[in-house]
Structure 1
Amino acid sequence: MEKKIICLGGLVFSVTVLAQNKSTVNDTVKSERLEEVIVSATRSPEIVKKTAATVTILKRKDIEQQSLISPDLSNILAYRVPGLAFGNNLTGNRGQTLRGRNVLVMIDGIPQSSPLRNNDREIRSIDPSILERIEVVKGATSIYGNGAEGGIINYITLKNASNKPIAGKTVFGFTSHDVFDKNMFKSDGGAGYRISQSLYGKLGKVDYLVNGTFTRNGVKIDGDGLVQNPRYGLGETNVSNAFAKIGYDLNENNRFEIMYNYYSSLQDSKYILDLGKYGERPSAGKLGERQGAKEGTKYNHNGYLKYTNKSIFRNTSLNTTLYFQDFYTIYDYRDAPRWKTGGQSAILEKKYGFRADFTTEFKQNDKVTGSLTYGVDLLNEKTSQPLVDGRIWVPELNMIAAAPFVQGKLFLTPDLTVKGGLRWDEMHVDVPNYTTLPSGKDTAVDVLGGKLRYNNLSYNVGLSYTAIDLFQPFTSYSRGFNIYDLGRVLRDAKDNTLEKINTEPIVVDSYEIGFNSKIGKSIDLSASYFYNYSKLGADLVSVNGFWVPLRAPQYISGVEVSIDVYPTKNLNIGANYTYQEGKVDTDSDNKYEKYLSGVRIAPARLNSYIKWNTKNNKLQMGLYHMYSFKRDRFEKDASGKYQEGEGAVTDFNLFNFQGSYKLNTFTTVGLGIENIFNKSYYTPTAQFTARDAEYVRGNGRYYTVSFSFTY
């Protein structure tokens, strides 16, 4: 526990991302460099250097540039966010942890993750075409409570930026594996396309933005020209996104806003699995007739009604949000002996929530000396996992949760900030009587339902000092918790009453110490060390082909380092490095003898890039590099095989390119190249999973050409 003691000397704090109202920020923003970027933190805005945590922000320009290479949010985040595991090139995001822990994904503060049954689809839950920015806060967070044990990813949607009655933007994109391939428009070709249309404007006190985006992915092909295994694949998918946001400014202090977003990603493939052999040859696709319904997210509806009052009473603002989510995803078809007669499962989620945040500022001589953010979160969620044919794998779980919270900031000096907060979560989950759906030689178990009750006190403290540009240290502590995929536990029940099933939540103590540094006028540097510990963790292990939780003490530690260099006004060079490792005490003897599997711990990774643009910004280019290190922590069994989740991961290099040129004021043409050198490689997920069917290579070289028109 020496690593834990190192951080105990510092106070730890965990920040979250939601509020977007910049009017309450008292720091002056002078440039786009690290110490001046505004983020939404502690549910009231502040400056990055004062958050006492490691924060990564992807602005609109970053998202557009990366989307030109690939509109896959999983890859966009992997290239830009230290601490986030590499994407698996599949529809799901299993294994894409943040600092080895589950991450809470939100859309404008609406949770996409579910503690009742993890759908592994939350990172790909919205199209990047309608994102204003992405804010990622590392480490367990107490202010949002359940589910944020590794941190938060908040997708913040676009808003109108024009005073004209009507303005718009149209984007056409075309993607191909090989621009010279005569078969690219045929069934075995790799061609795809993308269309996006936005209209926005302001009419008096009303502002609006509407967008529709459709993407058709062609057949996905690896570096050797093989069609990738279509199971959970991204090839031959139709991705649709419809978005609308309307705001009404009642006066300068009061605003109403309504938002709705629809997202769908369904695969319609002519290919079936051509089974490979782990470690020898990849699983690929071959033409054939697929069983079952179309795989993917059939729909993901999100919406909110928001009311903001900048001065509800003295020095106090109010933000309230009434929101909903309605989600339905379908998994692949499995033959017997799974569920004995085979089948295809799905997850349905419905959430209805309410948030109320008050922020009171304390002033002395017209200077802010501190602030207090306080309020309550209410949530009703219903989640189930049936089979498409009507059989029930996980019964409908009904959760009602309430959580009051308070977060305070005290500016001891203009450069010394102390933060702290408390949150109390009270959660009740109704579980009906149900019968397990056995597989293989298992027998069905009749389980007597009931009510599960959870309550938890989370707290956080943090300290940051920003007086010296060269060295701006911070340290923080936060306690987070997670029910952790309750449905996965219940569906594999071997006992007939809830009291005999281990449904105890995960409580995570997260520590961080780090610094930000501004070296002269051209270098930004940041580094942090993190450590998190849970007395009762939940690593996933495979049993008879099913992922089940291993409940045991575990810890994870690591480092993150980022540097950005601005040699000239038009040139930006940057790099970031992430290393993490974790162990589990399987025997509860206080000896952490076993490494955590690849499902939790990603290999070390080095990302670097160079971006350049002309003085008039007509021409812009970027080259991006990723080096994923090897990770080999486990021994083979007596039969010479790795246990699932413990396969050795080899290293690989990838290079991407994107560039754009403004033909005139209204028209821009862009070019993106994914995997420039057509590298043939296996993703870390394909390697550590150690399953024949999931031993699939990553994408080969893909070209994207786009045309955008603004008016």
Structure 2
Amino acid sequence: MKKTLLCLGSVFLVSGIAKAQKNVIKVNDSVKQGRLDEVIITVTRTPEIIKKTASTVHIVNRKEIEEQAAISPDLSNILAYQVPGLAFGNNLVGNRGQTLRGRNVLIMIDGIPQSSPLRNNDREIRSIDPSVLERIEVVKGATSIYGNGAEGGIINYITQKDNSKKSISGKTVLGFTGHELFNNKMFKSEGGAGYRISQSFYGKLGKFDYLVNGTFTENGVKIDGEGLVQNPRYGLGETKVNNAFAKLGYSFNDKSRIELMYNYYSSLQDSKYILDKGKYGERPSTGKIGESLGVKEGTKYNHNAYLKYSNTSIFRNTSFNASVYFQDFYTIYDYREAPRWKTGGQSAILEKKYGVRTDFNTEFRKEGILKASLTYGIDLLNEHTTQPLVDGRVWVPELNMMAFAPFIQSKLYLTEDLTVKMGSRWDLMNIKVPDYTTLPSGKDSAFNVQGGSLKYKNFSYNAGLSYTAFSYFQPFTSYSRGFNIYDLGRVLRDAKSNVLNEINTEPVVVDSYEIGFNSKIGKVIDFSASYFYNYSKLGADLVSVNGFWTPLRAPQYISGVDLVMNVYPARGLNIGVNYTYQEGKVDVNNDNTYQKYLSGLRIAPPRLNSYVKWMSDDKKLNLGLYHMYSFKRDRFSPDKSGKYEEGEGPVESFNLFNFQGSYKFNQFIMLGLGVENLFNKTYFTPTSMYTARDAEYVRGNGRYYTLTLSFKY
């Protein structure tokens, strides 16, 4: 609480100084209405100007998504290049270790949660194809707006809808990817060739509008900078990705609308290669010709759908949004030989969610001037999750959760420029656990666990302050409490007790503090900086026990900074750079010493991203060069034999460059070229380095070219 008062006091002090200077400093209106002011976000449940959110928010717009997808359609990498504070992608189908500010992040599609508190599937980031996204909204830090699972922040994928006035329009995108350009190897599997087809139709018929899209991607063999085939285990090589999307809307009038959305996503690997295990620190794990055991691994399906009703004036000065949503998810992991589960096997995760979300927003005005607003509502969620083995054995029993959460968020406009935000949320959860028997590995014994009900009650709250009088310095500060029933299934499957209430299933409660500012200097420079600190009495760091990742329940803290600058030195030219640093420690002995650093699974090494983009005056030619520098992180010592604990391996630095360019022949036809790893750098991903496992010591992609031809009509 002292940190909260200190942050709030700092902003009030800065605000007072700025107010005193207001009589002698005149801000040009054209500057005050510049780039940052006009960005509106919706992830805060009601539309809000980004500078008044009192937190660090990052928006990846449609143009940026298309530019990055032209290099690689991997959403994990797109976000890593675009969002400061998010860990580097691991070049695998899963996103384990890709934390936001060292904490787990809640992934949503149009507000539908993809993350699960019952059993983390590590597949949330790659849950939809970027071809159907309008933008991506990222709110950093714990939040009580959405409750469970958002202790690190929120990433919300906002899907497209038709904005045209024509009855029917369309867009076709054809893409070809290869390790070699203009070479016959490009169209052969041993050269890493792949292709991508995306077809959209959209239009408006009276009060009815629609958008449908189908996208199919087939990846070829993935090759590193030396031309070696990458380890196919959990890899992205030889995967087939399908995405089908539809959004239908009907506007009753200019105030009320109903909308139906459905998205289907699948990503399955069918590889002729199997693991050729390397040696950690010496040689990479690669692929060799062989026959895989088990069934095809990957996300077999992920269905998302919602029915939403919105009314901007349901009663006096009040807008209303209500949605009913559904998710059905099924993913299959790789086959593991004995002694895993004694006889080997292959696990899968199945999830089903049914939810209702309601939002009211009431505005309070005096003489036509907005003085305050109140957002309030109720969230309901029913989730069923289980983790069986493909052969029918049960590793995690089917967990049935009912969750109920009323919430209220308020904004008080003390002046035109000084905004105070406060809110709270009350989460009530009941999880039914059936009787089950654990599946032991190695020398472990099985436990017959008596089931029952787990009940959780959590009161989350937040407070924030922002001051926006001057474009050159717009400070903000915030405090928020978030929580997460951290991966309950992982805890239950490793039970060492026969009684449910003797297993430590206490949730992670995170207190998050932030102070920062946004700045616009003339029409040339945008700059933002923030410092964050978060603490939890019970952490959720993973440690490896007998080859399984298990939670370490101990106090931990994380702190760091985000710096972002964009420069517009000339017409059509945009230069940007951002830097992220974070560090964290855990109190393993519970004696308030915090002597041990958090592992690489939670803390990413510092990273510097930069780019240069240019557009011709006629807007036909676009060029972009993107750079990422991942710094070194070496916090742990090996044992006497030179072996590192899993998750604690040293991470070496590396440089990567990507290129993207496009040319519009006319308003209908565009040709694009994307180059991933422009200089064919041979490097190991941070995940492969800190994991410190022989089988997962894998290099990143070598140079890949993607040619894209798109047609609009």
TM normalised by structure 1 equals: 0.96
Structure 2 equivalent of residue 20 of structure 1: none
- Of 338, 342, 345, 2:347 maps to 345
Structure 1 equivalent of residue 693 of structure 2: 691
- For structure 1, which segment, 286-295 or 38-47, has the greater mean C-alpha deviation from structure 2 after superposition? 38-47
Structure 2 equivalent of residue 608 of structure 1: 610
CA distance in 2, matches of 1:707, 1:44: 37
Indicate the SS of the match to 1:707.
strand
Structure 1 equivalent of residue 211 of structure 2: 209
Structure 1 equivalent of residue 430 of structure 2: 428
CA distance in 1, matches of 2:89, 2:394: 31
CA distance in 1, matches of 2:325, 2:337: 39
CA distance in 1, matches of 2:43, 2:494: 39
Indicate the SS of the match to 2:65.
helix
- Of 344, 364, 374, 1:372 maps to 374
Identity %: 76
Shift of 1:40: 1.5
- Of 431, 441, 452, 1:439 maps to 441
Shift of 1:251: 1.5
CA distance in 2, matches of 1:650, 1:153: 28
- Of 665, 668, 678, 1:666 maps to 668
CA distance in 1, matches of 2:34, 2:670: 24
Note if contact 1:42-1:407 (Cα within 8 Å) is conserved in structure 2.
no
Note if contact 1:29-1:36 (Cα within 8 Å) is conserved in structure 2.
no
Structure 2 equivalent of residue 322 of structure 1: 324
Indicate the SS of the match to 2:131.
helix
Structure 1 equivalent of residue 392 of structure 2: 390
- Of 503, 514, 517, 1:512 maps to 514
* Superposed counterparts of 1:233-244, under 5 Å: 233-244=235-246
CA distance in 2, matches of 1:348, 1:112: 12
Structure 2 equivalent of residue 311 of structure 1: 313
Note if contact 1:311-1:317 (Cα within 8 Å) is conserved in structure 2.
yes
Residue 553 in structure 1 maps to residue 577 in structure 2 = no
Note if contact 1:31-1:37 (Cα within 8 Å) is conserved in structure 2.
no
Structure 2 equivalent of residue 24 of structure 1: none
Quick one: which amino acid aligns to residue 300 of structure 1?
N
- Of 169, 173, 176, 2:175 maps to 173
Shift of 1:254: 1.3
Indicate the SS of the match to 1:454.
strand
CA distance in 1, matches of 2:4, 2:475: 18
Which digits, 9 at most, give the CA deviation of each residue in 1:613-670, with x for residues without a partner?
0111000010000000000000001221100000000000000000100011210000
Note if contact 2:264-2:304 (Cα within 8 Å) is conserved in structure 1.
yes
Quick one: which amino acid aligns to residue 671 of structure 1?
L
Indicate the SS of the match to 2:37.
helix
* Superposed counterparts of 1:48-447, under 5 Å: 48-179=50-181, 181-447=183-449
Paired residues in the alignment total 697
Shift of 1:80: 0.6
Quick one: which amino acid aligns to residue 301 of structure 1?
H
Structure 2 equivalent of residue 619 of structure 1: 621
Shift of 1:183: 3.9
* Superposed counterparts of 1:572-611, under 5 Å: 572-611=574-613
CA distance in 2, matches of 1:57, 1:569: 22
Which digits, 9 at most, give the CA deviation of each residue in 1:526-582, with x for residues without a partner?
000000000111100001110000000000000000000001121000000000000
Identify unmatched segments of 5+ residues in structure 2: 13-28
Indicate the SS of the match to 2:692.
coil
Residue 457 in structure 1 maps to residue 462 in structure 2 = no
Which digits, 9 at most, give the CA deviation of each residue in 1:397-455, with x for residues without a partner?
00000000000001111100000001000000000000000110111100000000000
Quick one: which amino acid aligns to residue 331 of structure 2?
T
Shift of 1:468: 1.0
CA distance in 2, matches of 1:684, 1:167: 43
Quick one: which amino acid aligns to residue 505 of structure 1?
P
Shift of 1:683: 0.6
Which digits, 9 at most, give the CA deviation of each residue in 1:495-546, with x for residues without a partner?
0011110000000000000000011111000000000000111100001110
CA distance in 2, matches of 1:618, 1:181: 27
Shift of 1:5: 7.9
Indicate the SS of the match to 1:300.
strand
CA distance in 1, matches of 2:571, 2:246: 36
CA distance in 2, matches of 1:278, 1:490: 31
Indicate the SS of the match to 2:340.
coil
Which digits, 9 at most, give the CA deviation of each residue in 1:464-489, with x for residues without a partner?
00001111000000000000000000
Q: 1:599 to 1:11 in 2, by over 3 A?
A: farther
Which digits, 9 at most, give the CA deviation of each residue in 1:580-626, with x for residues without a partner?
00000001101100000000000000000010001110000100000
Which digits, 9 at most, give the CA deviation of each residue in 1:342-373, with x for residues without a partner?
00000000000001100000011111111000
Quick one: which amino acid aligns to residue 510 of structure 2?
V
* Superposed counterparts of 1:470-481, under 5 Å: 470-481=472-483
Shift of 1:6: 5.3
Note if contact 2:200-2:214 (Cα within 8 Å) is conserved in structure 1.
yes
Note if contact 1:101-1:600 (Cα within 8 Å) is conserved in structure 2.
yes
Q: 1:28 to 1:311 in 2, by over 3 A?
A: farther
Structure 1 equivalent of residue 19 of structure 2: none
- For structure 1, which segment, 1-10 or 491-500, has the greater mean C-alpha deviation from structure 2 after superposition? 1-10
CA distance in 2, matches of 1:619, 1:366: 46
Q: 1:2 to 1:688 in 2, by over 3 A?
A: farther
Indicate the SS of the match to 2:191.
coil
Q: 1:675 to 1:310 in 2, by over 3 A?
A: same
CA distance in 2, matches of 1:280, 1:452: 47
CA distance in 2, matches of 1:310, 1:3: 38
CA distance in 2, matches of 1:700, 1:281: 16
Which digits, 9 at most, give the CA deviation of each residue in 1:253-305, with x for residues without a partner?
11110000000000010000011000000000011111111110000000000
CA distance in 2, matches of 1:2, 1:423: 22
Note if contact 1:3-1:531 (Cα within 8 Å) is conserved in structure 2.
no
- For structure 1, which segment, 3-12 or 59-68, has the greater mean C-alpha deviation from structure 2 after superposition? 3-12
Q: 1:41 to 1:366 in 2, by over 3 A?
A: farther
Quick one: which amino acid aligns to residue 135 of structure 1?
E
Note if contact 2:623-2:661 (Cα within 8 Å) is conserved in structure 1.
yes
- Of 500, 511, 534, 1:532 maps to 534
Which digits, 9 at most, give the CA deviation of each residue in 1:98-138, with x for residues without a partner?
00000000000000000000000000000000000000000
Note if contact 1:198-1:209 (Cα within 8 Å) is conserved in structure 2.
yes
* Superposed counterparts of 1:699-710, under 5 Å: 699-710=701-712
CA distance in 2, matches of 1:635, 1:4: 36
CA distance in 1, matches of 2:7, 2:280: 41
- Of 32, 37, 41, 1:39 maps to 41
Indicate the SS of the match to 1:469.
coil
Indicate the SS of the match to 2:47.
strand
Structure 2 equivalent of residue 18 of structure 1: none
Shift of 1:143: 1.1
Indicate the SS of the match to 1:36.
coil
CA distance in 2, matches of 1:507, 1:457: 10
Note if contact 2:274-2:289 (Cα within 8 Å) is conserved in structure 1.
yes
Structure 1 equivalent of residue 16 of structure 2: none
Shift of 1:223: 0.3
Note if contact 1:633-1:648 (Cα within 8 Å) is conserved in structure 2.
yes
Structure 2 equivalent of residue 482 of structure 1: 484
Indicate the SS of the match to 2:70.
helix
Indicate the SS of the match to 1:35.
coil
Note if contact 2:300-2:332 (Cα within 8 Å) is conserved in structure 1.
yes
Identify unmatched segments of 5+ residues in structure 1: 13-26
Which digits, 9 at most, give the CA deviation of each residue in 1:309-364, with x for residues without a partner?
11110000100000000000000000000001000000000000001100000011
